[in-house]
Structure 1
Amino acid sequence: MLRALWLTAQNEARLLVKDPIVLFMLLFAPVVIITVAGYSLGSLYGGVANSFRLPVVNLDNGQVSDGIIQALHQERNLTLEMLDDPAEARRRVSQRDRTPIAMVIAAGTSAAVAAGRQPRLILFVDPVRRVEVNAIELRIGELCRRVTDQARATAQTQIESFAASGAPTLPGDLGFVEQPAIEGEAVAVNAFDQYVPGFGITFLLIGMMLGIALTLFDERDWGTLKRLQVSGAPVTGLLLGKLFARFIVGIVQMVLLFAVGWALFGITLGRNPLALLIPTVGISFAAAALGLVVASISRAHDSVMPLGVTVSMAMAAIGGCWWPLDFEPGWMRELARWMPTTWTMQAFNDLMIRNQPPSAALWPLAATVGIGTIFLGAGIIRFVSLND
């Protein structure tokens, strides 16, 4: 028994050493995911990321508004942009990165506080970036409380030394109210509106590794590819046929996930549910092409899953499938532009949450298909060269 155990352990060790990719992935895979998560979510645990941009429209120009702006300038993770037009502030929120929220200080805010009323700052928010909005609103809410407390302390001092006739007026409470950055959209969203497409894309990528990369190794080991080549079928044609079949499977997989998400979790499908097929087609094509790339660079059957899963998970995480892109540092957001997951999530968010028309998904589709075409060309060239 002990001899059998020892011989088996030796054999497994030899197999592991013979495939350095598997050995490398045992350490590389967790390091990649830890690195991506650490840089992306570091700001939640007190780390310093690139600051958010906060457009501010000051229509009050009073003592209260001046105090608010001065306090906001002292926030290390906020970069203020002073504007004159509320419409421009809304546009920046809805169309620009790192700008999840904008503030308008209405005319008469200072006077309203002094008169004992309850004025409200207007916050234009992007519901897609609800996590970032909540984080900034916590600071704004604390700022409003400080302004109110300071005004009341000043009034209390005046009351204590008050000698003139008439009753003094206590300052009112300063707060804020949310409004959508885009007319007609909601200011809060169902969390599953982001989780369903995000994790659906993740498992679509992993599924392509199983359906393309692993089966290509199996067919090569079983001699299936050789027999088809002998019959006159070109390798390129065989690869395109397999990719097309898995491309269709990927589309069906995503459609079923959205149907389940709608039935179980009440996700919104946007103004035109059929428009969700636009980004679905793009990511299915790119994922299938990526599966071919992994198959072409893996050295053995057992190295496909470690490599494929690591690439898939890292691409999904960096591309905004697991958390908002605004959490990521600048260099990671630039890297995300070269990943199909980034553009696909942008399209799903625009269609499902921002209620944009189908045309909003066309540019992300072009970017996704372009990246997928690069994957496809590289995978075919590499795979054909290995099987000539």
Structure 2
Amino acid sequence: MRPILTLAAKDFRLMLRDPRAGVILLLMPVLLVFILGLTVGGAFDPNKKEQLRISVVNLDAGLLPDAGPFPGRPWSDILLEDFASTADIKVELIPSREQAEALVHSGERAVVIILEPEFSDHMQRCSFVGEPLKKNPINPLYRDGIQISKLGVTVVRDPTQEVAAAVVEQVVQVALMRVVIPWMIGQAFEMIGTPPFMDKMKKYVPSLHLLPGDLLKSIGDAMQKGISGFFVDYDFRGKTWAKLTKSEPPPTKAANTSAYQSDGSGAIRRGAVRYQALVPSYTVTFAFFLVLVMGWLFAAERRHGTIVRLNAAPIARWQLLLGKLLPCFAVSLLQGFGLLIAGWVIFGMPLGSRPELLIPVVFCTSLAAVGLAMLVAAVAKTEQQVSVNGTLLVMVLAGLSGSLMPRYLMPEEMRRITRVTPHAWSLDAYSQLLTNPEPQTMIVWTACAALCGFGLVFLLIAWWRMSVEK
């Protein structure tokens, strides 16, 4: 045991001669994960369904006391329900105008819709007809759709994000049309045959003056029934889009509406879900960068003749192998656990329902990584060979395994091929523990067994190669 610890202590001292390299090796994956988390958003989340976010400030004061029986609640509620029941739309409620303007001015939101206090009142006054049939009517329609300013809707835009703002405004236009037009049609249709309507008609049909009131009422009722019978696919008395078109209203999706929250969690306030994919991907990738560290150590010792003297020393090959393995294995464990802790503390990444199982996954991943590092170190003769061959091997395995690109984006055949790499098995285990609410422990333990198998095979080949060299 003493020769092993002596060799390990020597390699530790060699590593400590260049502390900056060690710091870079430990901090580089954290920095890379941080940068990718900022830039890729939720692209690494396979379960995430992209939703268009509509940010709304609801200042609506509600209906006036004499508003009438319909709709019986603030029009803002109806509009927000329409947003939320539309597929792939997420409604975000911002509490104040000032906060909304600050978010737009800082570029965090491309556009915010503000429903002013008079929104319900103006919506209630929308009508196809004017005085005296409708008191203080508002006609919000114009060539391009709805004049939202007439309805008490203010749009706060970021001029640097015109395309995103235009998309949101178009969605708002469509939603307002679904809400406003059935209401205007329903009101107008109800007025057909009423005394004010028939009095208006006398201007165009003078003979109506000669008819008694009962007959006029009968004619008015017949006009409503006749128009309804002609347009059998529509109910003009309905004041909602579903009733007007005689269709089933979409289910209200309460989960699509939420209060404003600053993006993400953790110390940097970024989305945590993305890091459940990024952190394990780059934990695995950088674990195998130890190939370069160990390769350089071996190459330096060959250059200085140390390997020859070690081979001549009275120590077994397995002792030499373990003595060289332990320092890099410790560094790999430090790197793996450090990145998981950084993901939890800095990025707000949940550690899943079985965080204790992350310990064997990190150990087994490090064993496979150190095994491969020992193999490369035993084969490569010079620093140049380590740099070229080791870097190529690390990058090819990372790309092939799905560490650099999510595996769910790969073709099915390619996903099967990734199993030839230890990275893929490690990613399977991390995926179960970090993203599955009920992780399949059999998959985790199978992955750990596969990683240990890779590590032992690599070490046996390295042991054999060192035996041949001796």
Specify the TM-score bucket, using the shorter chain as the normaliser.
Answer: 0.5 to 0.7
Alpha-carbon separation, structure 1, partners of 2:458 and 2:251: 51
Alpha-carbon separation, structure 1, partners of 2:401 and 2:455: 15
Change in CA separation of 1:159 and 1:192 when aligned onto 2, cut-off 3 Å: farther
1:377 is aligned, of 457, 460, 468, to: 460
- What letter is aligned with 1:162? F
* Cα pair 1:270 1:352 within 8 Å, conserved: yes
- What letter is aligned with 1:199? Y
Change in CA separation of 1:162 and 1:341 when aligned onto 2, cut-off 3 Å: same
Verify: 1:269 aligned to 2:345, yes or no.
no
* Cα pair 1:338 1:371 within 8 Å, conserved: no
* Cα pair 1:279 1:347 within 8 Å, conserved: yes
Indicate the larger mover: 235-244 or 345-354: 235-244
Determine the structure 2 residue equivalent to 1:251: 333
Deviation at 1:291, TM superposition (A): 0.9
- What are the within-5 Å matches in structure 2 for residues 203-282 of structure 1? 203-206=286-289, 208-282=290-364
Deviation at 1:189, TM superposition (A): 5.5
- What letter is aligned with 2:231? F
Change in CA separation of 1:227 and 1:352 when aligned onto 2, cut-off 3 Å: same
1:315 is aligned, of 397, 410, 416, to: 397
Verify: 1:343 aligned to 2:413, yes or no.
no
Deviation at 1:250, TM superposition (A): 0.8
Deviation at 1:303, TM superposition (A): 1.4
* Cα pair 1:236 1:384 within 8 Å, conserved: no
- What are the within-5 Å matches in structure 2 for residues 78-227 of structure 1? 161-162=230-231, 167=237, 169-170=243-244, 171-172=247-248, 174=250, 190-206=273-289, 208-227=290-309
* Cα pair 2:299 2:380 within 8 Å, conserved: no
Alpha-carbon separation, structure 1, partners of 2:291 and 2:438: 32
- What letter is aligned with 2:355? P
Q: For 1:42-72, what per-residue CA distance to the aligned partner results, in whole angstroms no more than 9, with x for missing partners?
A: xx9xxxxxxxxxxxxxxxxxxxxxxxxxxxx
Local SS of the residue matching 1:337: helix
Deviation at 1:275, TM superposition (A): 1.8
Q: For 1:349-368, what per-residue CA distance to the aligned partner results, in whole angstroms no more than 9, with x for missing partners?
A: 21122134583421110111
Alpha-carbon separation, structure 1, partners of 2:363 and 2:424: 15
1:304 is aligned, of 383, 386, 394, to: 386
Change in CA separation of 1:165 and 1:293 when aligned onto 2, cut-off 3 Å: closer
More helix by share: 1
Determine the structure 2 residue equivalent to 1:290: 372
TM-score under structure 2 length normalisation: 0.44
* Cα pair 1:196 1:258 within 8 Å, conserved: yes
Change in CA separation of 1:100 and 1:193 when aligned onto 2, cut-off 3 Å: closer
Deviation at 1:348, TM superposition (A): 1.0
- What letter is aligned with 2:448? L
Give me the identity figure in percent: 25
- What letter is aligned with 2:390? G
- What letter is aligned with 2:426? T
* Cα pair 1:189 1:353 within 8 Å, conserved: no
- What letter is aligned with 1:218? A
Local SS of the residue matching 1:347: helix
* Cα pair 1:320 1:342 within 8 Å, conserved: yes
* Cα pair 1:325 1:333 within 8 Å, conserved: yes
Alpha-carbon separation, structure 2, partners of 1:167 and 1:358: 56
Which protein shows a greater Rg?
2
- Unpaired segments of 5 or more residues in structure 1? 1-43, 45-98, 103-115, 123-144, 180-187
Deviation at 1:340, TM superposition (A): 1.1
Deviation at 1:345, TM superposition (A): 1.1
Change in CA separation of 1:172 and 1:259 when aligned onto 2, cut-off 3 Å: same
Determine the structure 2 residue equivalent to 1:11: none
Change in CA separation of 1:177 and 1:327 when aligned onto 2, cut-off 3 Å: farther
- What letter is aligned with 1:282? C
Q: How many residues matched?
A: 239
Change in CA separation of 1:263 and 1:165 when aligned onto 2, cut-off 3 Å: closer
- Unpaired segments of 5 or more residues in structure 2? 1-42, 50-81, 89-170, 186-226, 256-270
Alpha-carbon separation, structure 2, partners of 1:244 and 1:238: 10
- What letter is aligned with 2:329? F
- What letter is aligned with 1:248? A
Alpha-carbon separation, structure 2, partners of 1:257 and 1:178: 36
TM-score under structure 1 length normalisation: 0.53
* Cα pair 1:290 1:372 within 8 Å, conserved: yes
